[in-house]
Amino acid sequence: MRTAVVGHVEWVDFARVERVPSPGEIVTAERDWALPAGGGAVAAVQLARLAGECTFLTALGDDELGERSRRELEQLGVRVEAAIRAGKPTRRAFTFLDASAERTITVLGERLHPERGDALPWDELAEVDALYFTAGDTGALAAARAARVLVATARAMDVIAAGGVELDAIVRSGRDPSEQYRGYEPRPRFVVTTAGAGGGRWESADGRTGEWAAAALPGPPADSYGCGDSFAAGLAFGLARDGELPAALELAARCGAVCLTGEGPYEQQLTLA
């Protein structure tokens, strides 16, 4: 199965702390590390681990962090096709990871995303089975629709609403204000709303509704960073492989659950094996 992601990457500094500091407080991190992440990067690695390959169409700054992001994602099994934005830095983020496995994120700088006018292999998307869209312009979204299955995050709601493209599914968090869904035409086949340990619910374009249960954790929870995008990548893969929403949601829930047990988004992600 061929998979792809159209979206963004951020260079993320992580700090493991007992709790997020209160205003004016100083806390000491138990440990810290940095790696390329963000929704597009996390989903690309998850799809590569499920399918054995993934092409990631993105944009990077012309700086050291952009080159490191490319190199480290390729080491994780992703084929990176990036437009380089001259004179712009790769976006960064800082993430606290606390003892309850929650992540608290601060983003730094402009999010860079691919555009249809970039010299990227857009024509190859017609051969892709499962594609996840996290960021881009309306032209990039239209090009992504050439894939057999197209899933997008509600974080890209403005582009989705303006793009006039039918999605197989749009994924939103029921707890994140930045992932609110609003109606648009043509309606997506499914609106999928996640609720963490509470599983989630879905609604189809023809008015059917349903729920699913969260998957059992294969170990103690460690870090919620990347769980949502691992879930969405699993959903795209499952819809392309199985064609039915219940089986795809079961796989997606397992992807989110496994990711929760690792430190950082890549230490534990579900593989097809």
- The CA angle 19-13-141, to the nearest 5 degrees, is 115
Strand order in the sheet with 31-37: 31-37, 10-16, 92-97, 103-108
Asked if the structure places residue 267 within a domain, the reply is no
Q: Is residue 272 part of a domain?
A: no
> Is residue 270 situated within a structural domain?
no
What single-letter amino acid sits at 229? D
Q: What percent of the chain has pLDDT over 90?
A: 93
CATH number at residue 212: 3.40.1190.20
Whether 89 and 109 have beta carbons less than 8 Å apart is answered as: yes
Question: Which amino acid makes up residue 120?
Answer: L
List the domain range (segments joined by +) for residue 46: 3-260
β-pairing, 190-194 vs 79-85, is unpaired
Reference 168, options 193, 156, 155, 186; nearest CA is 186
- Is 113 contained in some domain? yes
Q: Average per-residue pLDDT in the chain? A: 95
| Spatial contact of 193 and 173, defined as CB atoms under 8 Å apart | yes
pLDDT in tens, 47-60: 999 999 999 999 99
pLDDT in tens, 152-203: 999 999 999 999 999 999 999 877 777 788 889 999 999 999 998 899 999 9
Instruction: Indicate the number of domains in the chain.
Output: 1
